[in-house]
């Protein structure tokens, strides 16, 4: 009979996604058919699934740990923030609506139906489902109608293990406090706790660990030291975005947009030893020594274009281009590089037109239909084939499309300026392809290591599972599944 276990956290960003990925690989090594599941995720870092939808990037990584193709059922509810108060609601891979936070609560009863449907489908196909919670069950003000933590656990009869993050301090209060504020019914589902991200000698926390056990009466499953290679795996939270620490002559600068999306496009570049990658934060000028400036994807192209201008990056980009610098716009960044963005239906806000940056002679028309496809494209400059994916709304056309960035089945994709230094493309994931990445960086004057990025991710997942096996009682964790 299929079983499930749920990893909930004492807060956001305590490492739940990594824990689930590592536990998935550890379970797979035991000969189990295992699948990841997250009832509700909030992230603009999405992956296109094998069945033609989209899920959170963390669940795509967890599927990789399970050696499974991705499916929309691994993350049936995905919230993609568009403003500070509203988000696009994606259900089983397809956009349902855009809702403000207060209105979203009214949707939850119908969303629970989809959540349980997806969960039961995975359970019917696998020996074990490892579930990731969202945020924290201690947010009891959100307990009514909850589909992400204890609400889901109760509805699905799934036991819970609580993970605390010692790196941020106060982990004793995190775990003990969670038990203090949740209901006895919810607390009864918790089968134990684990401590994550310990730095130093774990034995120094023996007294604190025992105190948590004595106070909560929950068993502990171990203290997990900080996993130093975590940076080699795709990050889900934009707050985790970091540049590289190398000092290469080629300086690539990525603009840190307020609604940055699919930012794992940059991960393969961050691992290139000859590349200095800077993630530019709000208020920071574009460095004068930048070789390439990347304008990444955005969940709110028009809103982030205004954000870009508010930082003065439009002026910096003009200076960068005058110095002969290169610019690459990906997806929403590609749309921003054009002359105009038209949104007659008000898809991203008030209906109207917005002047673009004007570096490419193209215009974008926002349309309600979203492109969600995995593709193989041929790079125009190098002639190399590479894989990527589209996940966007809007159509872009204009004279610079005659100099396409790439082609898909002989259809032009993207655009290039007359001098070849300004490029735009809708294709995410292009730098994962090793041969393409080498050719692209060579065109900038860089020497690529040719490192096999996908193999690096695979090796790191293996190392993460080894790390978890060494420090946590994995057998006891899996035995708690029901």
Give the residue numbers annotated as catalytic, written as ranges: 331, 428
Cβ-Cβ contacts under 8 Å for 215 (sequence gap 6 or more): 176, 179
- d(CA 300, CA 283) in angstroms, rounded, equals 19
- d(CA 203, CA 189) in angstroms, rounded, equals 28
> Tokens 């824990």 label which residue?
19
- d(CA 43, CA 87) in angstroms, rounded, equals 10
Pairing relationship of beta strands 94-100 and 86-91 according to DSSP bridges: antiparallel
- Judge whether 111 and 77 are in contact, CB under 8 Å: yes
| Residues forming a β-bridge with 479 | none
Q: What share of the chain is helix, strand, coil (3-state, %, to 5)?
A: 35, 30, 35
- d(CA 104, CA 147) in angstroms, rounded, equals 12
User: Which pair of structure tokens corresponds to residue 255?
Assistant: 């603009």
> Between the CA of residue 167 and those of 58, 194, 224, 267, what are the distances in Å?
21, 13, 11, 24
Burial class (CB in 10 A: 0-12, 13-18, 19+), 368: exposed
- Planar angle of CA 99, 427, 364, nearest 5 degrees: 65
User: Which pair of structure tokens corresponds to residue 244?
Assistant: 């590289």
Which 3 state secondary structure label does DSSP give 270?
A: helix
Pairing relationship of beta strands 340-343 and 352-355 according to DSSP bridges: antiparallel
**Reduced 3-state DSSP string for 74-128:** HCCEEEEECCCCEEEEEECCEEEEEEEHHHHHHHHHHHHHHHHHHHHHHHHHCCE
């Amino acid at each position: 009979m299929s079983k499930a276990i749920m990893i909930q956290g004492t807060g956001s960003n305590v490492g739940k996604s990594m824990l689930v990925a590592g536990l998935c690989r550890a379970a797979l090594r035991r000969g189990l058919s295992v699948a990841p599941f997250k009832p509700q995720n909030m992230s603009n870092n999405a992956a296109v699934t094998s069945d033609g939808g989209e899920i959170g990037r963390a669940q795509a990584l967890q599927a990789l740990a399970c050696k499974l193709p991705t499916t929309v059922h691994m993350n049936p509810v995905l919230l993609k923030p568009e403003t500070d108060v509203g988000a696009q609601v994606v259900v089983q891979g397809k956009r349902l609506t855009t809702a403000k936070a207060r209105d979203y609560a009214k949707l939850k009863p119908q969303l629970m139906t989809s959540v349980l449907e997806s969960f039961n489908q995975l359970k019917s196909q696998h020996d074990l489902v490892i579930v990731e919670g969202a945020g924290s069950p201690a947010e009891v003000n959100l307990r009514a109608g909850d589909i992400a933590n204890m609400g889901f656990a109760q509805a699905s009869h799934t036991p819970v293990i609580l993970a605390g993050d010692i790196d941020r301090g106060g982990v004793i209060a995190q775990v003990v406090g969670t038990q203090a504020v949740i209901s006895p019914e919810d607390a009864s589902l918790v089968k134990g706790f684990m401590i994550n991200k310990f730095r130093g000698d774990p034995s120094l926390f023996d007294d604190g660990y025992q105190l948590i056990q004595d106070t909560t009466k929950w068993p502990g499953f171990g203290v997990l030291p900080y996993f130093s290679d975590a940076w080699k795996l795709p990050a889900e939270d934009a707050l985790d975005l970091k540049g590289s620490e190398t000092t290469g002559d080629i300086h690539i600068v990525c603009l840190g947009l307020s609604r940055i999306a699919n930012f794992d496009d940059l991960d393969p570049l961050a691992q290139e030893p000859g590349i200095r990658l800077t993630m530019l934060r709000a208020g920071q000028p574009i460095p004068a020594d930048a070789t390439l400036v990347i304008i990444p994807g955005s969940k709110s192209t028009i809103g982030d274009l205004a954000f870009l201008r508010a930082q003065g990056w439009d002026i910096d980009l003009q200076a960068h281009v005058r110095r002969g610098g290169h610019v690459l716009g990906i997806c929403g960044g590609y749309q921003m590089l054009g002359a105009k963005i038209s949104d007659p239906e008000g898809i991203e806000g008030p209906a109207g037109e917005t002047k673009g940056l004007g570096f490419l002679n193209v215009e974008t028309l926002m349309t309600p239909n979203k492109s969600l496809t995995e593709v193989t494209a041929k790079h125009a400059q190098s002639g190399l084939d590479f894989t990527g994916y589209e996940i966007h709304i809007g159509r872009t056309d204009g004279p610079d499309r005659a100099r396409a960035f790439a082609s898909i089945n002989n259809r032009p994709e993207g655009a290039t300026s007359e001098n070849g230094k300004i490029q735009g493309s809708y294709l995410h994931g292009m730098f994962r392809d090793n041969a393409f990445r080498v050719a692209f960086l060579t065109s900038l004057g860089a020497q690529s290591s040719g490192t096999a990025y996908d193999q690096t991710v695979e090796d790191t997942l293996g190392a993460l599972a080894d790390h978890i096996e060494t420090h946590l009682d994995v057998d006891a964790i899996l035995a708690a599944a029901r």
